Structure 1
Amino acid sequence: MFILLLLGTTCALHGYLWWRLVRNTTARGTAWRRLGTALVLAGPALLAIVLIGGRNGLPFELVQILAWPAYLWLALAAYLTIALLAGEIVRPVLLRWLRRRHARRQVAVPVPAPAAVAVPSAAASDDAEQGAPTAESLDGRAEDDLQDPARRRFVARLVGGAAGVVAAGTVGYGTYGVLRGPGVKHVTVPLAKLPRAAHGFRIAVVSDIHLGAVLGRGFAEKVVATVNATQPHLIAVVGDLVDGTVEDLRSAVEPLAGLRARHGAFFVTGNHEYFSGVEEWTRHVQELGLRLLANERVELAAFDLAGVNDVTGERYGDGPDFAAALGDRDPARATVLLAHQPIVIHEAVRHGVDLQLSGHTHGGQMWPVTHLAGLVNPTVAGLDRYGDTYLYVTRGAGAWGPPTRVGAPSDVTVVELASTQA
């Protein structure tokens, strides 16, 4: 249903793009109109092939080739639409200015003196007094009517060109931000139950890498290098590691075996693991050296580390089980919970969790979705407090769909635990 909704919305937006960028800027029957129409139709067609064909046996190598132009066009179309909608405000202003400019030029043109003065008839005088059009006024209106379509096309090309420059610049910069790898954020979280000896314990939180047809092995190497450079005590991979099968992405995820931390690397499932074959992936991440926390808890020296399955697992009979992960713990010990989606924070509060680490939101990934993400998530990005429980949500290291982020830069976050006893 999500894919069908996405494709339907995309087709509607492309109808608007064709109207403004092709129909309004080109003449009927010209090669430019045919070319523009073909390009606008190619975008949603490529996207449909990637989204539907990729799930129905289309060779992964072909999906990789088509995914780049399909997803980049999706991002470009989104920002073209936003820029053109903003242009709707400018368009009538430009048209009015051009008409007035033309009228001023007409007035400024000197009219040659007539060779002979003709005495108007009484009927002609009456018509003039009543405002009836003269030959001169008819000629002026005809000329203005002929020039108005040209003005409209000129304005359409001007607005369309400006929208294209803005959209291309936005998508280009946002894509560069993803491909260069995630930045590093630092946040300190005070925990009353944390012993003084564990003050300064560092957890590298990484989420939403989304290795797949677009982001592959090279991107995974950048993420691993970024995480290892923080020299964390522990690494928490909180879901949405992949978009695809183990068979297709075995090489892409191989660099994750190089994650290094004193207390190891831990993993909990995200919704995309369930879309990609959760049983195969939970086995494979353990082969890579990550410790799976599937509704279970590990007792470290200073605190308990627990992890729950993603809520999407409920559709597969494999959802989060807080009682299994937290039920028999010592309430006097601090507890850090790994859970992919921040929406489970209220369950975490009920079970006395001190800190929940989550991802999933991407921080909205692309403005203005950054504002809409708050409608379905308690926290979109950053640190919040719910009762006695802290919730930290990372924006994630990668990107889903378009390899583009606007207003929501990717990150790996180093969460430093602080003992209030220190």
Structure 2
Amino acid sequence: MVAVFVIAAVAVLAALVALHWYGWRRLVRDTTAAGSVPRRIGTAVFIAGPALLVAAPGSGRAGAPFRVQQVVSWPGYLWMAFFIYVSLALIVGEGARPLLRRFLERRDARRADDTGAVTVPAAAEAEPVPVPAAEPYPAPAPAAPVPSPSRRLFVSRVVGGAAVAAAVATVGAGAYNVLSGPAVKRVTVPLARLPRRAHGFRIAVVSDIHLGPVLGRGHTQRIVDTINATGPDLVAVVGDLVDGTVADLGPAAEPLAQLKARHGSFFVTGNHEYISDAAEEWVDHVRELGLHPLENARVPIGDFDLAGVNDVSGESQDQGPDYDKALGDRDTSRASVLLAHQPVMIHDAVKHGVDLQLSGHTHGGQMWPGNIIADLANPTLAGLERYGDTQLYVTRGAGAWGPPVRVGAPSDITVVTLASRQA
């Protein structure tokens, strides 16, 4: 197992080095003069960037002070996002390079033809032209040619500049999507066993807030304000609240105490609570903030049952999901809603006759083309789908992990309205 990890780590490091060398070559070496100040600056950036990229996640694992984590995480994670998209843009630019060179060659050839097309009369028909006497003064020296970049240099600068501009615009728009706060989505889900009097019950579903060195108290406050503005009957916080400890992130989570819902706010763990080795302390802390943790537990909410299970990552710490404890002895004539962080838990929900599972975890892929990988790893990437008699709704989440950037997967808080088929 250790050998596999080492091989994977070496492969990732080798790929990282190779991609950064490629990026340096195209953006720095091919566009600047050897020994020039721009080349020195560009080289320094391509040394500092990957160093910060490694330090951003590594500082937390190494136990660095939280302030140090904050200092390195912002530039490190933004460089990660920028480098992903500038690399993609440069790869696309490889196809544009020969086309642009061919265009320039043809343009220069046309210009040469136009300037060289001079008609000279035949020698037999030409009239003698008197030759003026030589000037007594020396002819002026020819003007020095204006230096211009070579065709190859020009192409490299155009393609490189376009790649940088595209990456900066993409990352900027993606960061604005995260830092401006999630949008509100509204989904209606009919439940066969929901009685008429519970028709219209609204659950505000929020997942993947990811408080950490990058997203802090202001991020939480925006989310809380957005949820409260919807006036929900119940709030469901479906895991991955934090990336760190209560000691570091307790103040960032405090706005959760302001959540308002007629039937209260509920919480289940996600995989990142266990990655941080802080699941138990966060369960205790959110309880102090007024949320109700559902650790493999169930509570009646009016005319339906609300259940919650621990994330599957908790199995490594003997705190995994226990469906029998949460759902085993319930009244099956009542509708049931299950809070479970990961969509892959839907198969157990189907076995236990759950009507609706509410999940997060996927981020909708967060940054294209990450959605392709996330879609392969999860039964549902985002939205509402049916599995037998059980429906699964997956929110894209309200925050971001790693880079505070979302591309093609906007953050959201979803208000799920339960509908009775008897209404």
TM-score, L = length of structure 2 = 0.88
SS at match of 1:208: coil
Corresponding residue for 1:368?
A: 369
Instruction: Say if 2:57 is the partner of 1:56.
Output: no
Q: Alpha-carbon deviation of 1:166?
A: 1.1
Q: Alpha-carbon deviation of 1:325?
A: 0.8
Instruction: Say if 2:70 is the partner of 1:72.
Output: no
Q: Alpha-carbon deviation of 1:291?
A: 0.6
Identity %: 64
Deviations 1:100-131 (A, max 9, x none): 222333334439999xx9xxxxxxxxxxxxxx
Q: Alpha-carbon deviation of 1:59?
A: 1.4
SS at match of 1:374: helix
Corresponding residue for 1:228?
A: 228
Q: Structure 2: how far apart are the matches of 1:113 and 1:335?
A: 92
Corresponding residue for 1:299?
A: 300
Could you tell me whether the CA contact under 8 Å between 2:59 and 2:68 is conserved in 1? no
Corresponding residue for 2:134?
A: none
Q: Structure 2: how far apart are the matches of 1:345 and 1:304?
A: 17
Q: Aligned letter for 1:390? A: Q
Corresponding residue for 1:198?
A: 198
Could you tell me whether the CA contact under 8 Å between 1:205 and 1:413 is conserved in 2? yes
Corresponding residue for 2:177?
A: 177
Could you tell me whether the CA contact under 8 Å between 1:339 and 1:357 is conserved in 2? yes
Could you tell me whether the CA contact under 8 Å between 1:3 and 1:51 is conserved in 2? no
Q: Aligned letter for 1:57? A: G
Instruction: Say if 2:107 is the partner of 1:81.
Output: no
Deviates more, 1:172-181 or 1:199-208: 172-181
Q: Structure 1: how far apart are the matches of 2:183 and 2:71?
A: 27
Q: How does 1:341-360 map to 2 (within 5 A)?
A: 341-360=342-361
Corresponding residue for 2:398?
A: 397
Q: Aligned letter for 2:250? A: R
Instruction: Say if 2:49 is the partner of 1:34.
Output: no
Deviations 1:56-103 (A, max 9, x none): 121111211221111111111111111111111111001111122223
Q: Aligned letter for 2:244? A: G
Q: Aligned letter for 2:271? A: N
Corresponding residue for 2:128?
A: none
2:26 to 14, 20, 27: 20
Unaligned runs of 5+ in 2: 124-147
Q: Aligned letter for 2:269? A: T
Q: Alpha-carbon deviation of 1:304?
A: 0.7
Deviations 1:194-230 (A, max 9, x none): 1111000000000000011111001100000011111
Q: Structure 2: how far apart are the matches of 1:273 and 1:345?
A: 20
Q: Alpha-carbon deviation of 1:371?
A: 2.6
Q: Alpha-carbon deviation of 1:4?
A: 7.3
Q: Alpha-carbon deviation of 1:320?
A: 0.9
Could you tell me whether the CA contact under 8 Å between 1:366 and 1:406 is conserved in 2? yes
Instruction: Say if 2:164 is the partner of 1:164.
Output: yes
SS at match of 2:398: coil
Corresponding residue for 2:136?
A: none
Q: Structure 2: how far apart are the matches of 1:296 and 1:3?
A: 39
Could you tell me whether the CA contact under 8 Å between 2:350 and 2:389 is conserved in 1? yes
Corresponding residue for 1:144?
A: none
Q: Aligned letter for 1:102? A: D
Corresponding residue for 2:141?
A: none
Could you tell me whether the CA contact under 8 Å between 1:366 and 1:408 is conserved in 2? yes
Q: How does 1:117-156 map to 2 (within 5 A)?
A: 150-156=150-156
SS at match of 2:156: helix
Q: Aligned letter for 1:251? A: P
SS at match of 2:348: helix
Q: Alpha-carbon deviation of 1:397?
A: 0.5
Q: Structure 2: how far apart are the matches of 1:9 and 1:230?
A: 46
Deviations 1:138-167 (A, max 9, x none): xxxxxxxxx9x8211110100111111111
Corresponding residue for 1:102?
A: 108
Q: Aligned letter for 2:174? A: G
Instruction: Say if 2:359 is the partner of 1:384.
Output: no
Could you tell me whether the CA contact under 8 Å between 2:32 and 2:38 is conserved in 1? yes
Q: Alpha-carbon deviation of 1:272?
A: 0.5
Q: Aligned letter for 1:165? A: A
Q: How does 1:223-262 map to 2 (within 5 A)?
A: 223-262=223-262
Q: Structure 2: how far apart are the matches of 1:109 and 1:190?
A: 76
Could you tell me whether the CA contact under 8 Å between 1:399 and 1:405 is conserved in 2? yes
User: Using a 3 Å threshold, how does the CA distance of structure 1 residues 369 and 331 change in structure 2: closer, same or farther?
Assistant: same
Q: Structure 2: how far apart are the matches of 1:373 and 1:25?
A: 36
Q: Structure 2: how far apart are the matches of 1:345 and 1:326?
A: 14
User: Using a 3 Å threshold, how does the CA distance of structure 1 residues 419 and 109 change in structure 2: closer, same or farther?
Assistant: same
Deviates more, 1:221-230 or 1:95-104: 95-104
User: Using a 3 Å threshold, how does the CA distance of structure 1 residues 176 and 6 change in structure 2: closer, same or farther?
Assistant: farther
Q: Structure 1: how far apart are the matches of 2:346 and 2:118?
A: 83
User: Using a 3 Å threshold, how does the CA distance of structure 1 residues 271 and 4 change in structure 2: closer, same or farther?
Assistant: farther
TM-score, L = length of structure 1 = 0.89
Q: Structure 2: how far apart are the matches of 1:242 and 1:258?
A: 18
Deviations 1:261-307 (A, max 9, x none): 11110000000000121121111111111111111111222111111
Corresponding residue for 2:332?
A: 331
Q: Aligned letter for 1:273? A: E
Q: Structure 1: how far apart are the matches of 2:13 and 2:237?
A: 31
SS at match of 1:54: helix
SS at match of 1:25: coil
How many residues align? The count is 391
Q: Structure 1: how far apart are the matches of 2:165 and 2:82?
A: 10
Unaligned runs of 5+ in 1: 118-146
